[in-house]
A and B are shown apart, each in its own frame.
Chain A
């Protein structure tokens, strides 16, 4: 039950219920490089995802991966 309510709580949070809209001139901190979704240089996220996916059963995330195996 607790697990099932998590996505709903997350959706409500993202919908911004009860939050003051953030104005464009207030977004300086959001534009800082430290805040990027993907950290690191030269597709660091891609090779890290590939490494985990080739050693673990799970895949998936908000991005498309490339094909291929490299999985011995």
Chain B
């Protein structure tokens, strides 16, 4: 057997700019085996959460991910509200869903751009990221922040969307719709994109079920799951929309699902805005006295799939246990199925097709030794570990 060549992607991803390490073992151009290393950015969020009050945890979980910084607070709110048996007001429901869907639009645009970048199609990258910008401006107007919105709290949201803002949002949506048409056309009808993505990185329905994959990754392989429909929360049962699926399971199908989902998101936001007009302004929270003892399973559909938060309360002001499962945790694991047997160039886009978010997947950092209380690592040691590690990677195989 010929000697396999190791091609590392990481520890710092050249395109996604996040810490992870894929080791591609290649025979010529073909990927024969693949391994994954993570933990470079583990921040201890689950442990940290146990030392925060429920109100503080929202700000903590929001920082798990910069792109879907709304979906973690959403799932956490669902979990805590389940424990305390809180029924939120309709206005809160609409506002929460509007934020979540705006986020889906900007996240999918970001992915479309990155996917173009991966394929060497930088026009798509430039376009998509340019069209994403007005969405971030909307966030700034509605929440005060372009990212990490700080909108959620137990039983409500922190800011209202006043009547005067609705036409502004509607204008941006009209514009995004036109731009999505343009982008969808550029992606769906382009022969080069077809050649690069069709039949590439296929996940079968059985693979998806076996790995428990979620979100567009699962829906592109024909598995019709979407938390918004299956386990309805917030305003999703109050509006009309449909779950987008595709059958092929390849990279193209994943792109198709995401692009078409953007239209659904726009439609959901429009219906929510209409719903807002019927509700009394300012009615955005219910009083919460205490969080009783109990457990809550909260989930929300992030742009990448189901976010799951398990919260256990003992009746005090902080959670006893807070388990977080980001969608990338199950989606990234499918890489063995989608990449082995592909060429290196196709493997990179197959890895990116699940829209991986490495920071969501990792949650702990090493800083102090518990016995001596001394710092385990200082900067010099970190550099020496890094050098050692690079050498190890180079030397292995």
A and B: real partners?
A: no
* Chain B contacts to A: CB under 8 angstroms: none
Which A residues fall within an 8 A CB radius of B?
none
